[in-house]
């Protein structure tokens, strides 16, 4: 059977948004589902990773159509590179505030809305001629779901909506300068997409619970890891006590308590200060860098975006892996993709997150690390010092369990079962 997958992010896009459906497409044919990918023809992604193109199966059909994006024009006016919506500037200035207001209230659900109408026209014709069994849309951007919604209404075709992130519960939604009318439009569209989908995919249990009031055919398929690294014992671990964070760190994901505790320990223990090293791989907001002035410069290493293959090396040699959940109202449901690659790296995870959230549930179930609440200074200091003492004995490791369920192929098997069930 053929599944038409509509996704904005596709190689050569880099970053986290591309990983989920690239990996599903990589393995779907192993489970008797032939993927056809529909994506944009003229991408201007903020992050590029050409190495990911090697993972696209050579025998699948990829459809591309041009998109007009007003973000490109707005960013040109401001003479700065566009940023993802999750990296909103908290101090944008007068022109920046105007641009944020326009983006929030005139491009609903997002600035890719202008791709909906031409895509529906193109795909309506393609679907009728090519025996497509199911349409799958992946968001954000959630305008992809509006393509699926219209195709469902026009052709009565089966449709699965996949939410890599929430819609109105996403971490930055509360930051958007939305009018009451615009907020209402978001909630209305979200409700319509969820109610009319034949099945809904989500990445965590909290999102599933929140969506069940709209649709009872909701399935949790988390993100995952793709490579079994069977020679961890051969990896040479960092000589210093490294804490490594992979991915974007914006102002909402700024672990102020961690920087404070590390600074205090450094002031109390010169040996710890000499051993400590913090690797921040990916984009770091200026506000976070300002907070990091609490720590000496020799402790910090800011590493720009790296190809996905190179990121794994940092994960596997680090003494501990730092996971920070955004401190926002929807924090319990945030389940970043990096957690699963952290699991595969088999290094202890230090998570600053809700202790009753989705991330904590996975870390605790797999015995893969430590979860500390946003304000729990006492336990944070205790965990750091206890792991540092084990590090000094050259014995810092983790004995995680049951992580194979998060391999991308196992997750794709679940997806194929859902596709066939509808």
For residue 81, the model assigns a pLDDT of 42
Whether the predicted pLDDT of 85 surpasses 50:
no
Lowest mean pLDDT among 81-90, 133-142, 145-154, 210-219: 81-90
328: DSSP letter: S
Look at residue 78 and tell me whether its pLDDT is greater than 50.
no
232-392: CATH topology: Rossmann fold (3.40.50)
2-224+407-421 and 232-392: identical CATH topology: yes
| DSSP one-letter string for 336-400 | -THHHHHHHHT--EEEES-TTSHHHHHHHHHT-EEEE-TT-HHHHHHHHHHHHHHHHTT------
CB proximity list for 124: less than 8 A, separation 6 or greater? 151, 154, 155
pLDDT band at 248, cuts 50/70/90? confident
Query: Does residue 5 surpass a pLDDT of 50?
Result: yes
DSSP 161: E
Percentage above 90 pLDDT, the chain = 74
DSSP per-residue letters across 250-286: -GGG--HHHHHHHHHHHHH-HHHHHHEEEEEES-B-H
Residues in the chain: 422
Q: Give the span between the Cα atoms of 354 and 371, in whole angstroms.
A: 8
d(C-alpha 371, C-alpha 324), whole Å: 10
pTM (2 decimals)?
0.88
Task: List C-alpha distances in Å: 332 to 121, 183, 209, 220, 415.
Answer: 39, 22, 12, 15, 24
Could you list the beta-strand ranges (E) of 29-86. 34-40, 61-65
Domain boundaries along the sequence of the chain: 2-224+407-421, 232-392
Tokens of 400: 């995680």
Least confident of 137-151, 296-310, 399-413: 296-310
Nearest to 252 by CA among 336, 182, 184: 336
CATH topology of domain 2-224+407-421: Rossmann fold (3.40.50)
In the predicted model, what is the mean pLDDT of residues 133-138? 98
Question: Which pLDDT belongs to residue 126?
Answer: 97
pLDDT at 83: 43
| pLDDT band for position 170 (cuts 50, 70, 90) | confident
pLDDT at 98: 86
pLDDT tier for residue 75 given thresholds of 50, 70 and 90: low
Helical pair 408-421 and 19-28, crossing angle rounded to 10 deg: 70
Per-state percent for the chain, helix, strand, coil, to nearest 5: 50, 15, 35
CA distances from 358 to 88, 221, 227, 383, 403 (A): 24, 13, 23, 21, 15
Indicate if the pLDDT at residue 84 is higher than 80.
no
What is the predicted pLDDT for the residue at 71?
Answer: 63
């Amino acid at each position: 059977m053929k599944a038409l997958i509509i996704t904005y992010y596709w190689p050569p896009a880099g970053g986290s948004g591309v990983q989920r459906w690239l990996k599903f497409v990589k393995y779907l044919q192993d489970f008797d589902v032939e993927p056809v990918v529909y994506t944009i023809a003229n991408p201007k992604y903020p992050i590029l990773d050409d190495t990911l193109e090697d993972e696209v199966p050579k025998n699948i059909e990829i459809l591309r159509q041009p998109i007009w994006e007003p973000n490109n024009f707005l960013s040109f006016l401001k003479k700065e590179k566009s940023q993802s919506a999750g990296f909103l500037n908290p101090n944008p200035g007068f022109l920046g505030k105007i641009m944020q207001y326009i983006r929030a209230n005139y491009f609903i659900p997002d600035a890719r809305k202008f791709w909906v109408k031409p895509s529906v026209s193109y795909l309506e014709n393609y679907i009728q001629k090519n025996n497509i069994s199911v349409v799958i849309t992946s968001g954000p951007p959630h305008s992809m779901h509006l393509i699926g919604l219209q195709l469902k209404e026009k052709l009565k075709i089966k449709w699965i909506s996949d939410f890599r992130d929430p819609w109105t519960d996403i971490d930055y939604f509360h930051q958007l300068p939305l009018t009451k009318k615009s907020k209402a439009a978001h909630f209305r569209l979200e409700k319509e997409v969820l109610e009319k989908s034949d099945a809904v995919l989500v990445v965590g249990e909290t999102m599933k619970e929140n969506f069940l009031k709209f649709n009872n055919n909701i399935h949790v398929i988390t993100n995952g890891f793709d490579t079994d690294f069977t020679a961890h014992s051969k990896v040479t671990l960092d000589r210093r006590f490294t804490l490594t964070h992979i991915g974007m760190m914006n102002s909402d994901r700024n672990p102020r308590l961690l920087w404070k505790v590390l600074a205090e320990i450094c002031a109390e223990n010169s040996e710890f200060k000499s051993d400590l090293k913090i690797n921040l791989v990916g984009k770091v907001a200026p506000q976070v860098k300002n907070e990091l002035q609490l720590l000496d410069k020799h402790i910090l290493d800011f590493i720009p975006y790296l190809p996905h293959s190179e990121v794994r090396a940092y994960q596997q040699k680090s003494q501990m892996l730092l996971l920070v959940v955004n401190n926002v109202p929807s924090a319990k449901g945030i389940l970043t993709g990096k957690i699963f690659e952290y699991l595969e790296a088999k290094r202890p995870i230090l998570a600053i997150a809700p202790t009753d959230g989705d991330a904590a549930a996975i870390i605790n179930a797999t015995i893969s690390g430590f979860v500390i609440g946003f304000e729990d200074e006492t336990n944070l200091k205790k965990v750091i010092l206890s792991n540092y003492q084990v590090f000094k004995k050259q014995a810092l490791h983790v004995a995680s369990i049951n992580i194979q369920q998060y391999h991308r192929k196992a997750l794709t098997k679940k997806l194929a079962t859902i596709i066939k069930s509808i």
